Amino acid sequence: MSDHHPTGFTRWLYTTNHKDIGSMYLWFSFVMFLIGGAMAMVIRAELYQPGLQFVEPNFFNQMTTMHGLIMVFGAVMPSMVGLANWLIPMQVGAPDMALPRMNNWSFWILPFAFTLLLSSLFMDGGAPNFGWTFYAPLSTTYGPPSTDFFILGVHMMGISSIMGAINVIVTVFNMRAPGMTLMKMPLFVWTWLITAFLLIMVMPVLAGTVTMMLTDRHFGTAFFDAAGGGDPVMFQHIFWFFGHPEVYIMILPAFGVVSEIIPAFSRKKLFGYSSMVYATASIALLSFIVWAHHMFAVGMPLAGELFFMIATMLIAVPTGVKVFNWVATMWQGSLTFETPMLFSIAFVILFTIGGFSGVMLAMAPVDFQYHDTYFVVAHFHYVLFPGAIFGTTAAVYYWLPKWTGKMYNETSGKIHFWLSMIFVNLTFFPMHFSGLAGMPRRIPDYNMMFADFNMWASIGAFGLGLTQIYFLITLVIAIRSGKKAEDKQWEGATGLEWDALPSPAPYHTFSTPPKVD
């Protein structure tokens, strides 16, 4: 084996190897996931019962803001980039990512961006406290001094995501093995390609938004300041023009993951491959024309509300196609339920529940009752936790044998799954009820009538937090002393990474391109 590679710290600092970078992304996102999770624990501890017990309201707002920012930009997005790094070259039969040096850059920016963001917690006036959506003028005129660090941090992580996206697009377009036509690519590659296009379309808009914030704060412009002729509602329009596609950026790669795993454990080809590709593309396209459904309460003209309501409801159609295709893939398959499959099934069911509440929220006249309540919190946690995070977890269990050559303990995996399943629902399902009962989001204290729901949610959240520690232990044990994995660990697995590579995959993949028929 000519599989030499440098060792020690410099290996990681200077590496241009897609596997090393993928691992770093995944571990980084896991660390961020634990930090963001710790903040969620602070939030849930405070909300465990009515009355202010642990933190004062301003710090509570800092926690909700930082929890959102870290989970979105630090945990979910980097974990998806980590999966892309590991899997895309292997799945398209490429030796590495197309732009390996840029790949190194795009990772190493992240620790600095998040150190900057986290350091704001220790600054005078505290961390950003205006919610992850940073609506003006609360974030501009009224923002704490650390807002400038937040702006710089967002710029840095934006640049990182953009570089990651460029890398994916160039790899997919230029590095495919001969014979690997676009419509033969695994669905994970497809969903990531579409995600990458969304990223390069909307991350610059986010960068533009925070740049305008910066000039509003320090250079006398008034983009969002009514007194100077600006408009705070315009901030929301521009933010959600980024923000809605961003939602799909977080979920589409997870769609790709379960579209790989469900066929593998059904021992049956994915049902409706091409309709899956078209559905993903239409979800991405629709995401550009639905942004204002986040802001029905700002007072839009009737025609605008109708347009955004109907466009949003349309998204249910391609999303439904995907769900039906997954079900049809399982139909008359030969199913087994290993951990990755369990997480993927939970993904389909719970994501669908999140989709249902999404359709409800899309309907403007009822949205006035749901908007900015815990119903919304329940909705987006249902699509993000059992969606994006279960998707990533399923991917980690599924490809761990390929990445490390070691198998996790199936019993531990199943325990992890059932704990996650129970606690996710215990945490987030009661939030539907507290929202319907009238509890606004982002409040540190509440009336007795919301007490039971919040207590259950908090208990669930603490359980969910501990479950992540269990996940970490399971992973570490698997990597250090797991059983040796087979080259094709899963009977029904397909794709180049399983058919053409040993486990663990060699440090340099496909020096000569594989043949694809």
Partner 1 sequence: MAIRRKLIAGIASLLSVLLSGGVQAASDLNMRPGVTETSIGAFDLHMMVVWVMVAISVVVFGAMIYSFIFHRKSKNPTPATFSHSTSVEFVWTIIPIIILVYLTWPAVKLLVKMEDASESEMSIQVTGSQWKWHYKYLENDINFFSNLDRTLAVDDPNYLLEVDNMLVIPVDTKVRFLVTADDVIHSWWVPDLAVKKDAIPGFINETWTNIPAEHAGKIFRGQCTELCGKDHGFMPVVVKVLSKDDYKAWVATKNDERIAAEKAAAEAAAASWDMDKLMALGKTTYDAKCGMCHMPNGLGMPPTFPALKDSRIAKGPAEGHIDIVVNGKTGTSMAAYGAQLTDAEMAAVITYERNAWGNNTGDTVQPADIQAFKAGN
Partner 2 sequence: MTEPTQNSDNKKLVYRLVGIIGGMFLFAFALVPLYNVFCDITGINGKTRGQALYQDVEIDKKRQVTIEFLTNVNRGMPWDFGSKVKSMVVYPGELNEVRFFAKNRSKNDIVGQTVPSVSPGEAALYLNKTECFCFDQQVLAAGEEVEMPMKFYIDADIPEDVTRLTLSYQLFNVTDSVKTESAATK
> For this structure, is 432 an active site residue?
no
The C-alpha R_g of the chain, in whole angstroms, comes to: 22
DSSP-assigned states of every residue in 419-448: HHHHHHHHHHHHHHHHHHHTPBSS-S---G
Instruction: State how far the Cα of 116 lies from the Cα of 197, in Å rounded to an integer.
Output: 27
> For this structure, is 132 an active site residue?
yes
Instruction: State how far the Cα of 76 lies from the Cα of 392, in Å rounded to an integer.
Output: 8
> For this structure, is 446 an active site residue?
no
> Which residues between 97 and 116 bind partner 2 (CB under 8 A)?
98-99
Please choose, from the candidates 289, 283, 270, 397, the residue with its C-alpha nearest in 3D space to the C-alpha of residue 337.
397
337 binds, among partner 1, partner 2, none (CB under 5 to 8 A by kind): partner 1
The distance between the two most distant Cα atoms of the chain, rounded to a whole number of Å, is 69
> Which residues between 215 and 274 bind partner 1 (CB under 8 A)?
226-227, 231-233, 266-274
Instruction: State how far the Cα of 294 lies from the Cα of 472, in Å rounded to an integer.
Output: 35
Q: Which of 72, 212, 283, 439 binds partner 2 (CB under 8 A)?
A: 212
> For this structure, is 319 an active site residue?
yes
414 binds, among partner 1, partner 2, none (CB under 5 to 8 A by kind): none
Q: Which of 4, 124, 229, 512 binds partner 2 (CB under 8 A)?
A: 229
In the bound state with partner 2, the residue whose beta carbon lies nearer, of 171 and 467, is 171
> Which residues between 137 and 176 bind partner 2 (CB under 8 A)?
162, 165-166, 169-170, 173-175
Q: Terminal CA-to-CA distance of the chain, rounded, Å?
A: 27
In the bound state with partner 2, the residue whose beta carbon lies nearer, of 41 and 205, is 205
> Which residues between 275 and 334 bind partner 2 (CB under 8 A)?
298-304
In the bound state with partner 2, the residue whose beta carbon lies nearer, of 192 and 374, is 192
Residues in the chain: 517
Residues whose CB falls within 8 Å of the CB of residue 138, separated by 6 or more in sequence, listed in order: 130, 131
Question: Is residue 144 near partner 1 by the rule CB under 8 A?
Answer: yes
> Which span sits near partner 1 by CB under 8 A: 19-27, 248-256, 359-367, 505-513?
359-367
> Which span sits near partner 2 by CB under 8 A: 42-50, 219-227, 275-283, 456-464?
219-227
> For this structure, is 338 an active site residue?
no
User: Shortest gap between Cβ of 377 and partner 2 (angstroms)?
Assistant: 27
Instruction: State how far the Cα of 122 lies from the Cα of 149, in Å rounded to an integer.
Output: 12
> Which span sits near partner 1 by CB under 8 A: 125-133, 183-191, 384-392, 482-490?
125-133
444 binds, among partner 2, partner 1, none (CB under 5 to 8 A by kind): partner 1
Residue with tokens 């019993």: 411
Give residue 407's identity as a one-letter amino acid code.
Answer: M
Q: What are phi and psi of 407, to 5 degrees?
A: -100, 145
Instruction: State how far the Cα of 357 lies from the Cα of 35, in Å rounded to an integer.
Output: 28
CA torsion sign for 140, 145, 147, 152 is positive
275 binds, among partner 1, partner 2, none (CB under 5 to 8 A by kind): partner 1
Q: What are phi and psi of 249, to 5 degrees?
A: -60, -35
x-marked contacts with partner 2 along 80-99 as a string, rule CB under 8 A: ------------------xx
Please choose, from the candidates 353, 354, 276, the residue with its C-alpha nearest in 3D space to the C-alpha of residue 322.
276
Enter the tokens of residue 292: 């204002």
> For this structure, is 161 an active site residue?
yes
Question: Is residue 494 near partner 1 by the rule CB under 8 A?
Answer: no
Q: Which of 55, 138, 205, 289 binds partner 1 (CB under 8 A)?
A: 138
> For this structure, is 248 an active site residue?
yes
In the bound state with partner 1, the residue whose beta carbon lies nearer, of 247 and 439, is 439
> For this structure, is 441 an active site residue?
yes
Question: Is residue 448 near partner 2 by the rule CB under 8 A?
Answer: no
> Which residues between 454 and 483 bind partner 2 (CB under 8 A)?
none
SS3 301: coil
Question: Is residue 470 near partner 1 by the rule CB under 8 A?
Answer: no
Instruction: State how far the Cα of 289 lies from the Cα of 285, in Å rounded to an integer.
Output: 8
> For this structure, is 18 an active site residue?
no
Q: Which of 111, 204, 272, 333 binds partner 2 (CB under 8 A)?
A: 204
- CA 140, distance to chain mean position in Å, is 27
Q: Which of 209, 319, 427, 509 binds partner 2 (CB under 8 A)?
A: 209
Instruction: State how far the Cα of 355 lies from the Cα of 324, in Å rounded to an integer.
Output: 13
212 binds, among partner 1, partner 2, none (CB under 5 to 8 A by kind): partner 2
Instruction: State how far the Cα of 339 lies from the Cα of 151, in Å rounded to an integer.
Output: 40
Question: Is residue 505 near partner 2 by the rule CB under 8 A?
Answer: no
Instruction: State how far the Cα of 217 lies from the Cα of 136, in Å rounded to an integer.
Output: 11
What is the set of active-site residues? 67, 96, 132, 160-161, 244, 246, 248, 259, 293-294, 319, 322, 441
